[in-house]
Amino acid sequence: MLYCSTRGEEGLYTAAEAVLMGLAPDGGLFVPASPWAPVSLEELADRSYPEQAAAIVHPFLEQFSAGEMSAILEKAYGGTSFDHPAVAPLHRLTDELFFMELWHGPTGAFKDLALQFLPQLLRTAAGKTGDRHTAVLLVATSGDTGKAALEGFCDLPGTKVIVFYPLEGVSEIQRQQMITQQGANLHVVAVRGNFDHAQTGVKALLGDSALKEKMLRRGLRFSSANSINWGRLLPQIVYYFSAYLKLRCNGEIRAGEKVNFVVPTGNFGNILAAFYAARMGLPVNRLICAANRNCVLTDFIRTGSYDRNRPFYRTISPSMDILISSNLERLLFELSGRDSARVKGWMRLLQEEGAFRIGAELQRAVKGVFWSDCADDGETKAVIGQTYRRYRYLLDPHTAVGLAVYNKYRSATGDATTTIVAATASPFKFAESVAAALLPPERTAGLSALETLPLLAETTGLAIPPPLRELHRRPIRHHTVIEKEELRDSVLHYLGLSG
């Protein structure tokens, strides 16, 4: 399989090149250049997670041998990195509603499913292209990608990682996880700004050709661990198939029966993986895009108009506090019949005016697959409380946005199709908000986030996940704070290219 850019640049790239580069030279995103074969569900049933993953991702990475593929996947999912043998187990709430728990990895968020895979893939890819440069991974994070990337790339030879996170835009536990990270090849920097500032800064650096030349002379090359990298999106397709096959295997659905997926969404990466899964033959009825108060995607799906000129809100689901959803570009490319000229036009408008509008036909295509609504912090907390009291099942705020939006979908449409909600983070990662949703204010008043961890464990009888248990004992190793205009200088500094 070869890859092309969503913005129409002529070149074709191998899979290894696409994952090493991260972003196409014209600023577009890499997508498969030719149609892909459907996945055979029968053949995947009864297989382990790494085996299912191999069958799904290998056709996109043909350049890698079967042996290389299974080594990468066994290392990612076969060992002890995930604390559940199923990797992404299903939890049944009612006859029609299931949660696929994507938070059993080393950092407690779904990003681990991709970031346990991508570092090994990049390393093998560098071997294939004969690339001896040090890969510099610039990461903009709304909280979870940063830690998952740090964990995935920690001390990996031939790589350097620089993570930028919004100083006040992540949960206290997310911040602690990042600033206590060990690893000689890693840097963590707080930015006075929001996620969009960090992501825009990173994308500008990735597209800077003068800087690229300068770096090459020093044996350095940029890459990306954000979901703009195809190598991150690809492994996310796997769990949609895996969850479906579990339902099928347990007799919850008939062969070929369609299901809905609800995905708490920010950068549109996770839900885009569900869209690709559907395009690969997974029986999907509706993809329900759940947003928090930053509901730019809900408005887009409903009206066909994307407009980021609006207030940016900090919410209790910080990993979804995003107004520029990068991966929407890939969706527009596919649904417009791969019309890269139009995609390029919309992206130019987005950059210059902060807004664009798609035509009626394309809007119908979007609505044919997606449904969207949003939930504010009050609704999110109410759903956490209700779900715990009624079912003794604990949701993190992102997953709770998903359930709140599903409830709205259900009342708006009456659709009783079996539905799977992506549970994107461990509730302990957002212990402060979750404890506040369950307990009267006097129980949580004055407690730091780290102090609410044991309180939440005691209240619910659940164990604090191992990666968060020792957090309060770990020394802080990363203190740097920069202004959003200093992102470039900061990168030059860490790469020894200043002056």
Q: Which is nearer to ligand PLP, 144 or 196 (CB)?
A: 144
CB 172 to ligand PLP: min, Å: 15
Rounded CA-CA distance 399/422 in Å is 7
Kindly list the strands in the beta sheet with 13-14, ordered across the sheet, starting from the edge strand earlier in the chain: 13-14, 2-5, 30-32
CB 470 to ligand PLP: min, Å: 21
| 304 scored as a contact of ligand PLP (CB under 6 A) | no
Q: Is 481 helix (H, G, I), strand (E, B) or coil?
A: strand
Per-residue contact flags (x/-) with ligand PLP for residues 214 to 233, judged by CB under 6 A: -------------x------
Count the helices and strands in the chain (H runs, E runs): 23, 16
Q: Pick the piece of the chain touching ligand PLP (CB under 6 A) from 48-56, 116-124, 268-276, 455-463.
A: 268-276
- Strands (DSSP E) along 118-185, which ranges? 134-140, 159-166
Judged by CB under 6 A, the residue of 267, 294, 418, 490 near ligand PLP is: 267
CB 320 to ligand PLP: min, Å: 5
| 293 scored as a contact of ligand PLP (CB under 6 A) | no
Rounded CA-CA distance 444/439 in Å is 7
Judged by CB under 6 A, the residue of 17, 101, 112, 144 near ligand PLP is: 144
Q: Is 243 helix (H, G, I), strand (E, B) or coil?
A: helix
Per-residue contact flags (x/-) with ligand PLP for residues 369 to 388, judged by CB under 6 A: --------------------
| 394 scored as a contact of ligand PLP (CB under 6 A) | no
CB 475 to ligand PLP: min, Å: 25
| 24 scored as a contact of ligand PLP (CB under 6 A) | no
CB 484 to ligand PLP: min, Å: 20
CB 22 to ligand PLP: min, Å: 16
Distances (CA, A) of 136 to 14, 24, 85, 129, 216: 20, 16, 33, 16, 11
Rounded CA-CA distance 388/394 in Å is 5
Of 76, 83, 168, whose CA–CA distance to 469 is shortest? Answer: 83
| φ, ψ at 251 (rounded to 5°) | 75, 15
Rounded CA-CA distance 77/427 in Å is 22
CB 224 to ligand PLP: min, Å: 14
User: Is 241 in contact with 259 (CB distance < 8 Å)?
Assistant: no
Distances (CA, A) of 69 to 64, 72, 74, 231: 6, 5, 9, 13
Judged by CB under 6 A, the residue of 100, 126, 162, 425 near ligand PLP is: 425
Token pair for residue 158? 């031939």
| Number of residues this chain uses to bind ligand PLP (CB under 6 A) | 16
Dihedral sign of CA atoms 271, 276, 282, 287 in order: positive
CB 287 to ligand PLP: min, Å: 12
| 198 scored as a contact of ligand PLP (CB under 6 A) | no
Q: Which is nearer to ligand PLP, 420 or 495 (CB)?
A: 420
| 398 scored as a contact of ligand PLP (CB under 6 A) | yes
| 268 scored as a contact of ligand PLP (CB under 6 A) | yes
Q: Pick the piece of the chain touching ligand PLP (CB under 6 A) from 38-46, 154-162, 261-269, 275-283.
A: 261-269
Judged by CB under 6 A, the residue of 105, 119, 264, 304 near ligand PLP is: 264
Burial of 389 (0-12, 13-18, 19+ CB in 10 A): exposed
Which parts of 73-132 interact with ligand PLP (CB under 6 A)? 109, 111
Chain residues in the site for ligand PLP (CB under 6 A): 109, 111, 144, 227, 264-270, 319-320, 398, 424-425
